[in-house]
Structure 1
Amino acid sequence: MAEELSADFVVIGSGICGALTALKLARRGASVLILEAGPRVGRAQLVANFRNSTRRSDWMSPYPFSPWAPHPVYAPKDNGYLVQAGPYPYPAEYIRMVGGTTWHWAAHAWRYVPNDMLMQSLYGVGVDWPFSYDALEPFYQEAEEIMGVAGSLEEHPESPRSKPFPLEPVAEPYAMRRLRERLAGVYPVVGNTVARNSRTFDGRPACCGSNNCQPICPVDAQYHGGLSVDAAEAAGAKLIANAVVYQLEHDAQDRIVAAHYYDPDKTSHRVTGRTFIVAANGIESPKLLLLSTSDKYPNGVANSSGMVGRNLMDHPSTSLTFDADEEVWLGRGPQSPSSINTLRDGPFRSEYSAYRLDFTNISRVDSTTQRLLLEGVYGPEFEKRLRYSAAHEMNVKTVLEVLPNPENRISLSDQKDALGIPKPQAHYRIDDYTRGGAIAGKADFARIAELMGGSNLRYTKDDYFANNQHICGTLTMGSDPHTSVCDEYGRAHDHENLYLVGTGVLPTAGTCNSTLAAVAVALRSVEHMLPGSSSAWTVNHDAPIA
């Protein structure tokens, strides 16, 4: 057993939520230790990895795979880390590395609409949140100001605000302007709210329009968890990389007293603290809780309700690809800049899911080249068809709501990784509620194509739903300890000094990318952990963290 470490707060996971939680705590004078399972890799190396990759459309290719901290890999073949129990596949993509998965996100920073938090009361489906939109609004603003969220107040009345967006909108690409103009009067096309600089902000440049936001912004115009970690360390937090936490230890009073982690050589280390914060993600966090069994908690800590890992949600997508009757040339500017938001809420939600309609701006050159080569097209015909597709091809997708369902869940599989730790297993299905939204969205697809003079319409197959990697649920907040894992502040019902942060605590998924909401909820939770709250603690300035 290696030397013990200790801190006031031990944060498990260095993604954007864990790192910003650590930052806020450290700035208030607490000693903070962050444990990250994966390695630390600099941004310059990641950009070089992308440029040298032979799989340019594979957003995981720049990110190193670590045998001691494996993550799902699907190209060139599935590595089998996330075991699929069905009946529908859930091919989640996430990064186990310092900074977490926002290294390769699209930087969408959406607020929920208020009714997303009142689904049971208003529509008789799903659940209500344990607090209101108004209670979260100041923390949405705090998160936006940290991340530098750009947007237009006039375009986004669906999510009330107390203050303007920190940054003005990012420049609109030509193709999106044409969509806005040609769909006007039928569908209002608006700019997406994004954690992407529209001007120099926080020492980072404005978006340069290079069109590879995913898998990595080459100039650091997008905010990401790597920046959060840097800020937390600058504030005094200590980070240990390659620290794979495999067990949380509790005492007779049900307080968590230690986290045990393996290093890459499988040497075990023990870390003690006053408060523990699990901030991995919606798959790795429940995995850790389920692993942490004891005589009193044979099904894992924080799991007396049996709800750990349950209510897995995401935002499945269907899509339409078509050829516009004019040249629009996707590929200039951000990859996902504009959408239609008028279908995010309404009385129909009692019957079928709400959705956003999101337009891609990803260059069609790579995908068209691959398709034509597979078809055996070469020479002048190749050049002609490539140019036509690159100029005319467009794509629109649904971002569909999924209701919390306890049968959609993450459990432990009987397969183990290189350290002998059980791999996670996904149980998932697409229900009729979400399928109903997809059916409604298909009519919108047809109308959008018509308005753009579309031809050569290619819909996704009827039973195909793309995964958007917005892992929600699995650690649900709620007032009832029998049906939820933690309270409204993310504190586990079973353990007074264990907090959960990240997208896993979100009770409903709504229709928006989950990162901003998770960060806002985490920042709200920190207020409950700090002096002056109902669970005040005393700062231990003598706690060794190095």
Structure 2
Amino acid sequence: MDINRKIPADIDKQHYDMVVIGSGFGSSFFLSEALKHTKGRVLIVEWGDYHPWAWQIQNQLNTAIPTAETYANRGDKPWNTTIALGGGMNCWFSQTPRMHPSDFATQSRYGIGHDWPISYDDLEPYYCQAEQIMSIAGDADMHQVLPRSQPFPQPPHKGSSIDEIMKQAMPDRHFIMPTGRARVATGNRSACCANATCNLCPVNAKFTAENGFSELYSHPQVDVCLKTEVRTLESQGGAIRSATLRSDGTEFVVHADLFVLGANAIQSPAILLRSGIEHGDTGRGLHEQVGLDVEVYLNGLGNFDGSTITTGLNYSFYDGDFRRERSACLVYFENRWPHGLRLEPGRWNETLPLMLVTEDLPNPDSRITVDPESGQAIINYAGESEYAERGIQWAFDHLGELLAPLPVESIEARRKRLTESHVQGTLRMGENGDGSVVDANMIHHTMRNLVVVGTSTYPSCSPANPSLTAAALSLRAANLLFS
């Protein structure tokens, strides 16, 4: 992939129309839309380096920067990020369900969490646009739960024999997982080979920054400065005027009219805190989903004949008035064997791995702070909520009812999932004065030339994977800003 590389000395004291901080889903999708509307010069500043797909496969790494070296963690829970050109588009497993309409209004509907300042309907056209860009393979039947105005770009992956039974029994609740892993090969992506190593896809089937946005990073208006960290943003008169960068121990300054902050939900608030920009609950509300790994033994029914890593997605435990008391839960039907195969002769595949993934309530005490001397981001996590624990326990206790169409022999909880690798919150969207940091258009409440993108802006936690929503939000924000 060709990149318009600039070293920090090249851009020192230069002025750009737009400076984009970070290059993950939020930043790259925002820029892809913004470039349709602006003729100005753009600079991407990325802390990490560019690691081609071949390098990642050879080294079995998505980045050369260990995640734990980018922050100080005061707890045991891991928080996974990828510091590299493309950010999470390198490491993601490319599961792409949309958020549920109720996820945007949990306070007004159920009296818990925060409402989003936008609705599902507001975002729906941009969901479609993001799905087109990523050539999402999806199940048309999902419109019964998640209304859609356009069809999926690609047909769904092949479900397993188990999915076929579940879909027949629950046609309005069980669907084939929508995914950024190609079902049909494209000009720059192979078809998924279902080898269960999506973070390091050996056949280049999933959507990545390299195969999806190569024209973005080589665009004649765009300069890319790699291996350079943004330390602070300098403001004057209610606007950001410049950014201070650091590379190899030396500091540089770059000026711009518009700044787009999309580092991640750990580093973005750290940049604002180091800069003394602390409007609302800046840094507070760090959260992600809570997960449980389950294994179901089956009697006479085999599994693992689907065409991708996760085949089924069941919404039976997702939405309802129960969310006043316990969390929503998605049930993921797996086409892999994380717990091993059965040892009984002839029964090796009579097992069904499930992931139970539930929402959590953001806690203001779960927050990002910065070391007063080094400025390093510090993670202070207060733990998951009782609300989430009740939701996941209820889902596990009622799995037998959900799986009634299958010949279930036993159901075993295997392990609590340490992380879903979905770092969210810390710069949430909302109305000015309610503790939020950015408005419905993702513009900072007080610094009106600062757009904040990515999962840091999420006011609440959906059980669904967050990446597609991050992409859609950025497309919407850029479209509204420049239209």
- Alignment TM-score, normalising by the size of structure 2: 0.90
Q: Deviations over 1:372-414 (max 9, x none)?
A: xxxxxxxxxxxx8397785233211211011232122222247
| CA deviation after TM superposition for structure 1 residue 256, in Å | 0.8
Q: Deviations over 1:16-69 (max 9, x none)?
A: 22112122222323321111000111101111223xxxxxxxxxxx13433xxx
Q: Among 381, 393, 411, which residue is 2:351 paired with?
A: 393
Whole-Å Cα distance in 1 between the matches of residues 172 and 141 of structure 2?
Answer: 16
CA contact (8 A) 1:409 1:474 kept: yes
| CA deviation after TM superposition for structure 1 residue 332, in Å | 5.7
CA spacing shift, 1:13–1:386, aligned 2, 3 Å: farther
One-letter code aligned to 2:48: G
CA spacing shift, 1:145–1:109, aligned 2, 3 Å: same
Q: Which runs of 5+ in 1 are unaligned?
A: 51-61, 73-78, 293-299, 370-383, 533-546
Whole-Å Cα distance in 2 between the matches of residues 287 and 205 of structure 1?
Answer: 38
CA spacing shift, 1:16–1:328, aligned 2, 3 Å: same
One-letter code aligned to 1:5: Q
Q: CA RMSD in A?
A: 2.5
CA spacing shift, 1:48–1:176, aligned 2, 3 Å: farther
Look up the match of 1:243.
Answer: 228
One-letter code aligned to 2:468: L
Query: For residues 425-464 of structure 1, what are the structure 2 equivalents within 5 Å?
Result: 425-447=379-401, 452-455=406-409, 457-460=411-414, 464=416
Whole-Å Cα distance in 1 between the matches of residues 170 and 258 of structure 2?
Answer: 54
| CA deviation after TM superposition for structure 1 residue 353, in Å | 0.6
* Secondary structure in 1 matching 2:74: strand
Whole-Å Cα distance in 2 between the matches of residues 18 and 387 of structure 1?
Answer: 51
Look up the match of 1:541.
Answer: none
One-letter code aligned to 2:246: Y
* Secondary structure in 1 matching 2:381: strand
* Secondary structure in 2 matching 1:146: helix
| CA deviation after TM superposition for structure 1 residue 514, in Å | 0.7
One-letter code aligned to 2:399: F
CA spacing shift, 1:390–1:474, aligned 2, 3 Å: farther
Whole-Å Cα distance in 2 between the matches of residues 389 and 102 of structure 1?
Answer: 37
CA contact (8 A) 1:336 1:361 kept: yes
Q: Which runs of 5+ in 2 are unaligned?
A: 1-7
Whole-Å Cα distance in 2 between the matches of residues 247 and 126 of structure 1?
Answer: 31
Please state if 1:5 is matched with 2:3: no
CA contact (8 A) 1:99 1:227 kept: no
Look up the match of 1:99.
Answer: 86
Whole-Å Cα distance in 1 between the matches of residues 172 and 73 of structure 2?
Answer: 38
Whole-Å Cα distance in 2 between the matches of residues 266 and 151 of structure 1?
Answer: 47
Please state if 1:85 is matched with 2:43: no
* Secondary structure in 2 matching 1:407: coil
Please state if 1:495 is matched with 2:447: yes
Whole-Å Cα distance in 2 between the matches of residues 126 and 23 of structure 1?
Answer: 32
CA contact (8 A) 1:475 1:485 kept: yes
Aligned residues: 472
| CA deviation after TM superposition for structure 1 residue 157, in Å | 1.6
| CA deviation after TM superposition for structure 1 residue 423, in Å | 3.5
Query: For residues 337-352 of structure 1, what are the structure 2 equivalents within 5 Å?
Result: 337-352=311-326
| CA deviation after TM superposition for structure 1 residue 456, in Å | 5.7
* Secondary structure in 2 matching 1:338: strand
Whole-Å Cα distance in 1 between the matches of residues 345 and 424 of structure 2?
Answer: 40
Q: Among 147, 153, 160, which residue is 1:160 paired with?
A: 147
| CA deviation after TM superposition for structure 1 residue 231, in Å | 2.9
Whole-Å Cα distance in 1 between the matches of residues 347 and 422 of structure 2?
Answer: 30
Q: Among 340, 357, 364, which residue is 1:368 paired with?
A: 340
CA contact (8 A) 1:90 1:467 kept: yes
* Secondary structure in 1 matching 2:398: helix
Look up the match of 2:207.
Answer: 223
Look up the match of 2:284.
Answer: 310
* Secondary structure in 2 matching 1:428: coil
Q: Deviations over 1:424-455 (max 9, x none)?
A: 31323111211110121112334456654444
Query: For residues 62-211 of structure 1, what are the structure 2 equivalents within 5 Å?
Result: 62-66=61-65, 70-72=66-68, 82-86=71-75, 89-174=76-161, 176-177=163-164, 180=167, 184=169, 188-201=173-186, 203-211=188-196
CA spacing shift, 1:494–1:186, aligned 2, 3 Å: closer
One-letter code aligned to 2:67: H
Look up the match of 2:57.
Answer: 47
- Alignment TM-score, normalising by the size of structure 1: 0.80
CA spacing shift, 1:102–1:362, aligned 2, 3 Å: farther
Whole-Å Cα distance in 1 between the matches of residues 399 and 292 of structure 2?
Answer: 10
Look up the match of 2:266.
Answer: 283
Q: Deviations over 1:244-275 (max 9, x none)?
A: 11111112x02111111111x21212111110
CA spacing shift, 1:491–1:332, aligned 2, 3 Å: same
Look up the match of 2:27.
Answer: 18
| CA deviation after TM superposition for structure 1 residue 222, in Å | 1.1
Look up the match of 2:3.
Answer: none
| CA deviation after TM superposition for structure 1 residue 10, in Å | 0.4
| CA deviation after TM superposition for structure 1 residue 467, in Å | 1.6
* Secondary structure in 2 matching 1:41: coil
Q: Among 479, 503, 520, which residue is 2:472 paired with?
A: 520
CA contact (8 A) 1:358 1:396 kept: yes
Look up the match of 1:475.
Answer: 427
